[in-house]
Amino acid sequence: MNEMNFTAARRHLVEQGWAVLRTGLCFADGGAVDHTKILSLARRFGAPSRRDAGREIWPVRPSRTDAAATLSERAGAVDFHTDAAYRSRPEDLVCLFVVRPAADGGLTLLLDAATVDAELRRHALGERVLAALGEPRWGWRVPEAFSGGPADVSPRAAVMPGDGTVRWRGDNLVGLTPEQRKVATWFGSLLKVVPGAVRLEHRPGDVIVIDNHRVMHGRTSFQDAARLLLRVRLWAS
């Protein structure tokens, strides 16, 4: 990798909220993850966080099927979300290192807040939904995998506060009013059909860097148990 690759990736990150580095590198040899290589690359974009579960590098692979499994621990599709919505201050960036793509899907999906905002304003209910999402009254439960317990809930925050950012995860919302439940259901359904979502094919050695405040990510369905990505959350430097 030369410096021009990183310069271009940083520019893309600013301009569109995400970037892809096609490194061609191997991030894991068998079951052993090359921590030094991964963290060295991640630090080109920010400071790695180890806040959740005390780990800088978190495997994204099917490892659990129970109801408490979080998004990174199970197979299948994942709806659009931002990382660490359940924390008072989510990390600035998310890096995904592709070790083994799935043979049957599991592609990364990206959707930026500006596109969602514009789509909402096209709908009759859009202004009402935006007003509800802009209120700092939304809360999320911390997943068990990240040391969360039944009473471990985020401070209340807005989903789309109107400044171009977004904080969202639909599967662990807590303490919703009946009106919020309606809004959450409608919003979640809208995200599935918003035009303009980006679909990224995976190659071994790819590094996907996402602005966690401006861009939501998800994935297409898969069942391949060999699929392995490695995630590092970053504080912007």
Q: Domain-by-domain residue ranges, the chain? A: 1-237
DSSP code for 108:
E
Contact 191, 79 (CB under 8 A): yes
pLDDT tens sequence for the chain (237 residues) = 688 899 999 999 999 999 999 999 999 876 789 999 999 999 999 999 999 989 999 999 999 999 889 999 999 999 999 999 999 999 999 999 999 999 999 999 999 999 999 999 999 989 999 999 999 999 999 998 887 666 688 999 999 999 999 999 999 999 999 999 999 999 999 999 999 999 999 999 999 999 999 999 999 999 999 999 999 999 997
Tokens of residue 64, six digits? 């659990």
Question: Residue for token digits 């809360």?
Answer: 139
Give the three-class secondary structure for 137: coil
Residue 144 is predicted with a pLDDT of 87
Q: What are phi and psi of 14, to 5 degrees?
A: -70, -45
CATH of domain 1-237: 3.60.130.10
Question: Which residues have CB under 8 Å from 118's CB, separation 6+?
Answer: none
pTM of the model: 0.96
Task: List, as one string, the DSSP characters of 14-82.
Answer: HHHSEEEEE-----EETTEE-HHHHHHHHTTTEEEP-TTTT-SSEEES----STT--GGGS-S-EEEE-
Question: Residue for token digits 């209120």?
Answer: 135
